[in-house]
Structure formats: structure tokens, C-alpha cells
Structure 1
Amino acid sequence: MVVPMSRQFFSAWLLILIVAGTLLVLSPRLEQPSLAEDLASRGFEILEAVQAAITQLAEQVTPTVVTISPLRPQASSRAFPRSRSQTVPGSGSGVLVSPDGYIVTNHHVVGEDAIEAEVRLSDKRRFIARIVGRDQDTDIALLKIESNEDLPWAPFGDSTRLKVGQWVLAVGNPMGLDRTVTLGVVSGIGRDTVNISKYENFIQTDAAINPGNSGGPLFNLHGEIIGINTAIIHMAQGIGFSIPADMVVHVVEQLRTRGHVVRGWLGVGIQSLTPELANKFGVSPGRGVLVNEVFKNDPADAAGILPGDIIVSIEGTSVETPKQLSRLIARFGPGETVHIDVIRNGRRHTLPVVMGEKEERAVTASLPFKTTEVALGIDVQTLTPGLAERFGLNERSGVLVSKVDRGSLAYTEGLQVGDLIKEVNRKEVRSVSEFSEAIQRVKPGDTILLRIVRGSRAFFVVLKTQGAG
């Protein structure tokens, strides 16, 4: 096991480094040449000591880093009825996280069709690892090798306490260069707009990460794993991303015990709260996530969550984006009771929700389009069973859009023929007459909040009517 260095040790060295740098700057200004030379000499000694500490850390952690080459089944033939798996071109990195041979890497390193992988340790020993489990949604995979003796390994650190500016060490095998060590800092935390996996909360670092580093560890100065390196932005320098340790630990434990990851399911369609939507719902922009659909008989429905509710916190953690909400819900297990705070008609409510189990189903929340102040420009008709079947709507009531005038406000907002209007300004409309009454109450210059169902998805949109003039 890598023995973590004490926090006091590195804090002391950092303070010494600052003092040494100051002395180096001031030494030429000192009137006594001998004193200046002595301070400069001591400053360089301190810098060399700090350098030695970093070197010692690299020497401690590099034995835990492995090279991974995925293997896949080889086609059998009469001559070779049972052939050994063959190596898939390309390789990545991984890190030993227990003395009995568990290895964490990226899902994309092992791929979907590999059944095992060749693992090469720093001492050149080779093992065939079985794939314990993989999770594409977080890009994590867990492997296991068997050895008659304890293997070098590294513990996980607490990534929730990371701060921008902290030093980190990235170790991996870029371009086939074994156990390459790069030093950098944490450039950012909570990055969730990279769009390379479903659940994102990346650590951003400027420690050099290159092809082949995928699956390798990101260490703090105590020799603890605080991230698993997963991606870089091509055509950019100094921008790499690591999966935070707290997410990795949660996934790895389930892969180890179950072979797959089980996640909580709320059963809602959601979208971002834009300034226009926030204004209509009477809340501050960016405060919460808007519920645009509640799936029948799912946990949210049973708990009393409604379309138009704004989810502002989950178990005391503030919610600001749809991705964050999805990530928070996924951390709970089926059957757990989770307290969710919503704002409904300006009032805050806390609802206990018993989580369901997430299944792979396609649920997409449409996002509103940019607006321009022009006429409404739609024709509507009351929904009938025939129209519902024709447009693939699992609804019994509402107002169907039968025509959208090109260039109109509705056209600009993205409304389409076949869209079903369920609400106007938070009031349900079940017929053309109810829709007309709701529209007649709108004054020139007012905004109109519509709840739309399109196929199997729902979303809110704000229309800005033209002012009187």
C-alpha cells in the first residue's frame, strides 16, 4: 500500500517554499554579500528538498499504476476449436486499489466486447484480468487479477474536499510511455458540461493527460487517488478531466458486489429554468430545475410531485441544473426515502419520495428556443382518440396544434403540427373553447406559459406576445 504522507508535512514544505522564494528575491538587495549568499544557498537547498518530496511521492505511487490491454474472443475454427482471446489494438491505464488485485480503469479502455484484459505491472509481470463489471454511464470499469502475494495499491482520497489550486499528480501510460508522471493543479471542479458520459462531475486539471492516460489515477500530495483520468479536449492545452473519487468509489463498490450499478429513479421529465420561465413561475433564475412531466405510477407521481413544480433541493443539497439533479438521484438506491424540496405556486414544500430503480428508458426533456415578439400564429383543435393515435400521443385530453404559420411566434419558438397543448399559464385546457378563453385573458405584451406534449415527451415554453402599439 502507498503510505499517505501527512498533511502537516506538505503544508510545512509549501510554507518553506514560499519563504525560500521570498528570500531568493530579496537576497540581492541585502547589503551584506555573505548574508545574501548564505540565504540564497539555503533557499536552493529548500527547493531541492521540496523537489525530493515530489520525487519520493512519484516513486511511491507509480508501482500502483498498470497498463491494460483489453482482450476479446477469437473466432474458433476446426484447427483451433478453443483459441485464447486476442489483444485488442490500443491500451490504456489503470490503478490497483486493493492488495488482492482489484483494478479501476475507464469503461472505454476495456470496451463492450472484451471479456478479459492483459495487465502489465510496473515490475513487468503480466496477468490476465477478468472484468468484474463496467458502467458506461460514468465510464468506470473494475478488473481483478489473481496473485499469490499482496500487490502495491493506493487508497482513495476525499474528492469532495478538493479546492481549485491544489497540486495533483497524473500517472499513466501515454503513447506507450510507461508510468509517465506529470505535475499540475486542480483547475476546476464540478465540470458537468463536457458531454462524454451520462453522469458528469469532473475534476479539471492542467496536469498533462494524453492518449493512453485514460483510466490512470490522479493523486493528491498524500498519495491518495482523488480522480480517474478520462478525457482531454483536443486542440487545447492543459485541459484534462478526471472522474472524482467519491463517484468512483460509489460505482466500484456496486461493481464489486453486484457486477453492475443500480441507480435510483424519480420518474420525471425536467428542463433548465431559463430567465423567462423563472419569471413566469415567480422564482429566481438558476434556482432549481423545472418539472415538465411526471410519469404515471412512478415514484414522483406517488409522492405528489406535479408538472410545474420546481425542484430546489434533494436531501438538503441545492439543485441548479438538470444534470446535477440526475446525478444526485442516481446516487440513491431503490427503496430509499429521499426528501425533495419543491416550489409550487410560490410556496416551498418538502416531499418524501421512495426511490424506484432506474431502467434504461429514453426520456428526453425538450428545451425552449429563443423568442421574438411576433403574433401567436397557430390553429388548434380538440384532441380526439383518432388524432391521438395519429400523432402517437398517449393522452386523452388537450388542444392539438393543427397548423403553425411560418414566421409566427409559435413557429419561432419551435411549436410543430401535432404538438398537444396541455396548459396555458398553469391552467389545464381540455378543449378549443378552454384554450380560447385562456388566450383571451392575455393582454398585449404579456407572456404565455404553455405546457406542451410532443410524442412521448413534455416541455414548457414561454411565448412573448407583441405589445400594444
Structure 2
Amino acid sequence: MAVQTGLGEPRGPWFVSPELDPHGRDGWQRWAVPGQGDTGGRRGWRGRLLAAAAVVAVSTLSGAAAGAWVADETGSPGSAASAAAVPAELVTAAERSVPGVVSVLVGSGSGASASGSGFAIDDQQHLITNDHILAKGGGRGVTVELPDGRRYPAEVVGREPGSDLAVLRVPPDAALTPLPLAKAGATRVGEPVLAVGSPLGLAGTVTAGIVSALDRPVRLGTIRHRAVQTDASINPGNSGGPLVNARGEVVGVNTAIATIDGNGSIGIGFAIPIDQVQQTADTIIGKGG
């Protein structure tokens, strides 16, 4: 498989990215072990591990590639799963968020070629998703599937490939619940978050984690941006879905994950920050109605 460069560029699904190094050095290996040089065999075990892996790749999360299986908490008494308490605020956040999150399908029937997620942002039934989902579908028809299984053809209001964002609109009778957006600058490292979407077509999937870092320099679309990094499990099909905080507010749009040798989620995901999302969406809606 040909290797493309750039994190999150819509050429998917797998990428090698030299763009992640915040210190100006080239490549994931030195980004993962900052401060260590190229020679002398003194990179330490992490450097040797990444060197042995040969390829560290990134998925833009569209399509139906391999991902995670989501299971409920049915562990036996005393098991780790049943012993871990779920914070009540995250349960409430999930209950509030899932009704406003949809599956985005590009193409139809046997010709369907891309899928992802999206979410409602206002009572005009505008939806946010990733542009790379539409690009992968080659401009064919877009269908939105609601949490209750209803399907609607979606109008593409506008696309912004540079920020990897797009705005869709569905008919008023879809009656989707818009998700509240977090205030710009309010997100904090370490706060709990949920990734909501349709990995592998499993609609209404919710995974939990924390905000791992802010202002992470990555390439999303055609432009270098600073992203929200999270360890919430996100996989192919999560693209375009919301990353929400414990109050149910959207803090970002899930867009890319890092992988080693093309394997599934390793707990390093990236989301477009909500202030950029809102600015882009307002511009697109202002132009397209």
C-alpha cells in the first residue's frame, strides 16, 4: 500500500506523518523520544520499539476498516470492569449527546464508499462532519441515519477541505437535538471526555477518556492546525463525531488517530478544537444558508 504523508489528510486510511514533531525534528521516532539524537544507539527502549515497528501511521477514520468492539459492563462480581465506577456526569453527558449524533453515509447501495459520523449544531438541522468523508465518497449522494434508524438525504451546505470540516442539512422533520458547544479556551488537560459516533457502523457508540493534550500541532486537511489530543478510543467511522466533556458540551470534532503498523486505536486521537469548528461552520452557513 502506498504511503502518504500528513496527519489526517483525506487520502486514507493510513499515513506516515513527519508533521507531529513539535521540536522540528523529522519523524515519529524522534517525536516520541524528544531530546535524543539519531546515532550512538542510545535512544532507549521507546526509540528502539518504534524503530522496530518501522511505520507509525495515522487513520482519518472514514470507511469500514478494522476497529474496536464495544461491549457492555457484564463482568462478574469483583472483575475490573464491574469494579470501575462510571462517573454519573459522564452517563448524563452520554444520554444528552447520543440523540444528536448521526451516521453519515456517502454513496448508496453497493456503491456506498464512505461512512462516518456527524452531529447537530442548531435547530435549523445543520450538521457538522468531516470533509474527508465526503471527499472519499467522490461527491456522490449523502444520506444521514438518525439514532432511531430513520434515514434522510442530506444537503451539502458547504465544505472546507483546508480545515477538514463540512456542514450538512437535513429536513426539519428529522428533529435532531442540537449539541451545546463548549466555550473557546474552556477545555483543560485531564478533564474527562466522551467520543460519540459510529465506528464500524455501530451507531450510538460511546467511549470514554481524558483530554491528553491541547494545541497539539498536526496536519488536518491541507493545513497545519493545533488539535485536541485524547485517549478516548476512536476508530474508523468515528470521523466527524463529537468529542464531548462531562457537561455534554462539544469540545472538538474527532478526525484522526495514530496507529503503529496500521493496527487499531492505541489511545492517541485528535479532534479539531471547537472554536475552529464554530468559526468554520458559521462561515459555511453564512454563505450557503
Structure-1-length-normalised TM-score: 0.41
Asked if the contact 1:102/1:142 (under 8 Å) is kept, the reply is yes
* Equivalent residue, structure 2, for 1:187: 212
Tell whether 2:153 aligns with 1:128: yes
Corresponding residue pairs, total: 202
Tell whether 2:123 aligns with 1:99: yes
Tell whether 2:148 aligns with 1:119: no
- 1:127–1:232 Cα change, 3 Å: same
Asked if the contact 2:89/2:246 (under 8 Å) is kept, the reply is no
Superposition map of 1:58-97 within 5 A: 58-71=94-107, 87-97=111-121
Post-superposition CA distance 1:172-195 (Å, at most 9, x none): 111111111011111011112346
Cα distance in 2 for partners of 1:128, 1:142 equals 14
Instruction: For structure 2, list consecutive stretches of 5 or more residues without a partner in the other structure.
Output: 1-82
Cα distance in 1 for partners of 2:226, 2:259 equals 19
- 1:97–1:49 Cα change, 3 Å: same
Q: CA deviation at 1:253?
A: 0.6
Q: SS of the counterpart of 1:168?
A: strand
* Equivalent residue, structure 2, for 1:161: 186
Post-superposition CA distance 1:245-274 (Å, at most 9, x none): 0000110011111149xxxxxxxxxxxxxx
Cα distance in 2 for partners of 1:71, 1:162 equals 36
Cα distance in 1 for partners of 2:206, 2:279 equals 26
* Equivalent residue, structure 2, for 1:250: 279
The structure with the larger Rg is: 1
* Equivalent residue, structure 1, for 2:176: 151
Q: CA RMSD in A?
A: 2.4
Cα distance in 2 for partners of 1:195, 1:155 equals 23
Q: SS of the counterpart of 2:280?
A: helix
Asked if the contact 1:159/1:227 (under 8 Å) is kept, the reply is no
Q: SS of the counterpart of 2:203?
A: coil
Q: SS of the counterpart of 1:53?
A: helix
Cα distance in 1 for partners of 2:207, 2:184 equals 19
More relative contact order in 1 or in 2 (CA 8 Å, sep 6+)? 2
The code of the aligned residue for 1:60 comes to R
* Equivalent residue, structure 2, for 1:265: none
Superposition map of 1:417-428 within 5 A: none
Asked if the contact 2:189/2:212 (under 8 Å) is kept, the reply is yes
Instruction: For structure 1, list consecutive stretches of 5 or more residues without a partner in the other structure.
Output: 1-46, 73-84, 261-469
* Equivalent residue, structure 2, for 1:34: none
Tell whether 2:132 aligns with 1:108: yes
Q: CA deviation at 1:59?
A: 1.5
Asked if the contact 2:116/2:237 (under 8 Å) is kept, the reply is yes
Structure-2-length-normalised TM-score: 0.65
Superposition map of 1:361-376 within 5 A: none
1:225 maps to which of 250, 258, 263: 250
Superposition map of 1:33-72 within 5 A: 51-71=87-107
The code of the aligned residue for 1:254 comes to T
Post-superposition CA distance 1:19-74 (Å, at most 9, x none): xxxxxxxxxxxxxxxxxxxxxxxxxxxx99863432222111101110001138xx
Cα distance in 1 for partners of 2:107, 2:125 equals 18
- 1:195–1:67 Cα change, 3 Å: closer
